């Protein structure tokens, strides 16, 4: 097992660094699909601003878009978030193991010299 490639994870974190974009994601996380106009009614933003954020999220595959007639319907794709969380979990667990091994290695030496 290994952490997913950083490239993807980086993009996801960068996209979520924007607090407004996180609000969009949190709204999408409630489920279902939304349109830019529908979302703009629920958030203190213009339709254009919402559309820009949705497009950025689509760029890192956090959001999928489906064209329905004249409207675009957006939906959250959870997989990139899982990958980002997975990167943190994997790397944290790896270092916990290594630091524990470091501690044992140092203390084994310490008891030998005392």
**Rule CB under 8 A: which residues touch another protein?**
2, 5-7, 9-10, 13-14, 16-19, 22, 25-26, 29-33, 75-76, 78, 81-82, 84-85, 87-88, 91-92, 95-96, 98-107, 109-110
Residues facing residue 75 across a β-bridge: 64
Shorter beta-carbon distance to another protein: residue 46 or 102: 102
Beta carbons of 25 and 62 less than 8 angstroms apart: yes
Shorter beta-carbon distance to another protein: residue 48 or 111: 111
Beta carbons of 15 and 62 less than 8 angstroms apart: yes
Beta carbons of 21 and 54 less than 8 angstroms apart: no
CB of residue 76 to another protein, shortest distance in Å = 7
């Amino acid at each position: 097992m290994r952490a997913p490639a950083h490239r993807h994870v980086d993009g996801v974190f960068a996209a979520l660094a924007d607090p407004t974009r996180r609000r969009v994601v949190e709204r999408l996380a409630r489920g279902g699909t939304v349109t830019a106009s529908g979302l703009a009614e629920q958030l203190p933003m213009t339709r254009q601003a919402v559309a820009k954020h949705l497009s950025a999220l689509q760029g890192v595959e956090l959001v999928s878009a489906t064209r329905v007639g004249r409207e675009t319907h957006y939906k959250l794709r959870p997989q990139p978030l899982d990958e980002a969380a997975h990167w943190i979990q994997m790397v944290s667990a790896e270092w916990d193991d290594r630091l524990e091994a470091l501690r044992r290695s140092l203390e084994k030496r310490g008891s030998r010299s005392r």
